[in-house]
Chain A
Amino acid sequence: MNKDAILATLIGFGIGLLITGLLLVGPNITKSLPKIKLPTTASTTTPTPTPSQFTVTIESPLAEAIENSTDVLVSGVTSPGSTVVIAGSVDDTAVVAQADGKYAGKVTLTEGKNDIIVTSYQQTKQASQTVTVYYTPESL
């Protein structure tokens, strides 16, 4: 074995030992080090609350869904306490949105295309959204 090979082995072994040592002793060293405090930048600008828009969303049923039952549960989110009208092809219902803004109500579907219109009212404000679903009693 020549000198260079022995030297390279020794260097490699040394580096290996160093890494092992760091892995074993490192965590203890970091604990004993003094904590450096980074200068904090105090923000002077206070966030201004943006007025939330009055909206209504339909979470269920999904758009273009194929339903195999005449009754469908329509649910979603709007402003808490709003009066929500769920209008289907055959009938309609009205509910009051809960404290978290969630609402749900059942409407009856007719065979074929059904446009379900959800309108939310809160005093003078009004928001509306439509979802189209299809119903067939046939098994596809």
Chain B
Amino acid sequence: MKKLLLIASALLLTTSVYAQTATSSSEKLENLKDRLASAATQLRQSQKRAIFGTVKVTSVSTITVATKTSDMKIELMDTISVFQMIKGKRTTLTTDQVTKGDTVVVFGDYDTNLDILKAQMIFIQGSIPERLSGTITETSKKDYTITLSTPGEQSYIVDFETMTKNFSFTRDKGVKKAGFSQLIVGDTVHVLETPEPKIANRVSAIRILDIGNLTGATPTSTATPTAKPTVKPTSTPAG
């Protein structure tokens, strides 16, 4: 009987102690949860963010930037700084010099509650060079051009300029400097380029990375469309 009573009392004691411990640890957990939620809310309310777009509307204290998805209102803070690369030099500007149509990147604190970006820095972005990749179908040592066929079956003529930097990649040697003569038909190349104004499908190369012939196949050169004189049918006199 004594033993039984001892076991019963031990059980009772253990249960109560466990309940007490569980209560205190759950309280701690709840407290921690609350603190975490509060910190997360604060972070969500104000977070560092950058947006890219075109200036749509400007005013003294705000600007509206049209991004790829939506228009965003930007609050211009007192401590804001504006920069632009002019002739290769990073130049400091004022907010008055940010005009409609400028392509900008705005850095600042984004307020989710007000859906507003409090701008700390505006960078007026110049034209960004484009990227082109494909297989070389033709090279011209006379004109210093290569013809590229993209995965989308489009053909581009790439001008190899005097300032063009050319690199080749091999599995054993890595990336090394290379010359125009090392660009061979069948090689896959990645080109950093600027499009030639007025001439469709013609670009000027800034940098070329040749990663070699990956398939082992040599593509046949695709004929580039040339303007042919049209022959008008002449009416032959009957008789």
Contacts and interface: CB of A to CB of B under 8 A. Distances in A.
Interface string A71-96: 00000000000010101010111101
A138 B7 contact: no
Given A66-B50, A94-B211, 20 more contacts: A20-B4, A20-B8, A66-B48, A83-B169, A85-B133, A89-B129, A91-B207, A92-B209, A112-B105, A113-B50, A121-B188, A121-B214, A124-B214, A124-B215, A126-B151, A134-B52, A134-B105, A136-B105, A136-B107, A138-B107
* Prevailing SS type, chain A contact patch: strand
Contact of B190 (A92, A138, A140): A92
* Prevailing SS type, chain B contact patch: strand
A101 interface: no
Nearest to A24: B7
Q: Contact residue range for chain B?
A: 35 or more
Interface of A: 13, 16-17, 20, 24, 64, 66, 83, 85, 87, 89, 91-94, 96, 111-113, 115, 117, 119, 121, 123-124, 126, 132, 134, 136, 138, 140
B216 to A, nearest CB: 8
A121 B174 CA distance: 15
Interface of B: 4, 7-8, 11, 48-50, 52, 81, 83, 85, 90, 105, 107-108, 120-121, 123, 125, 128-129, 131, 133, 151, 169, 171, 174-175, 188, 190, 192, 207, 209, 211, 214-215
